[in-house]
Chain A
């Protein structure tokens, strides 16, 4: 099956810092989604982004489908950004990466 790799696996940020999370995938996909799992376990979808760039507040995402990667940018990080960020790619069904564990310290 398709392989989804996320990097870095763990990231500690000072509040206010910027960061970039990366998702590489091994085959062509129909679409790609980014999710945030908060420390209480709730999964929230952030972006549905098969290609191009989207922005939502301090978060933005870019997917370059031809090169099989996607990037999630977090700007001016806040403690509420802590949690795990998952990339999931859709061939006929979603395949998840192992996630980026992000901790934002005040």
Chain B
């Protein structure tokens, strides 16, 4: 099993650009999550999904969108990048209980 994979590993965006962060898991987990981690801080939940076709907002959803068309994939969309979205983004999946994290995507918005 590859576990949870994320692409890209690193990206620089200009203000106002859009991009999609990809997340894929091969463990057949129903639950998937997107977090952001700012320097020196813990993780904050952006969006989560309890299964294909079902998504819900977390603590900091503004400026982001998600979709969950399959069990495996949970992409995160940034429509109009802002400097405040500079962060490290982690995707996680879970069968219910323990969460398993991807390696993260570092995003810099200039």
Contact = CB atoms under 8 A, between A and B. Distances in A.
Nearest to B56: A93
A42 B40 contact: no
A41 B98 CA distance: 19
Q: Which 4 A-B pairs have the closest CB atoms?
A: A96-B42, A43-B101, A48-B98, A96-B43
Interface in A58-106: 86, 88, 93-99
Interface in A39-63: 41-45, 48
Nearest to B44: A96
Counting chain A residues whose Cβ lies within 8 A of the other chain, the interface size class is 20 to 34
A33 interface: yes
Given A31-B97, A43-B101, A93 B42 contact: no
A98 B40 contact: yes
Given A43-B90, A45-B100, A94 B41 contact: no
Interface of B: 33, 40-45, 48, 58-59, 88, 90, 92, 97-101, 103-104
A98 B43 CA distance: 8
A62 to B, nearest CB: 18
A1 to B, nearest CB: 7
Contact of B42 (A31, A33, A48, A99): A99
A76 B54 CA distance: 45
Contact of B99 (A45, A97, A99): A45
A31 B99 CA distance: 12
A5 B44 CA distance: 14
A10 B108 CA distance: 27
Nearest to B48: A93
B88 A45 contact: no
Contacts of B33: 93-94
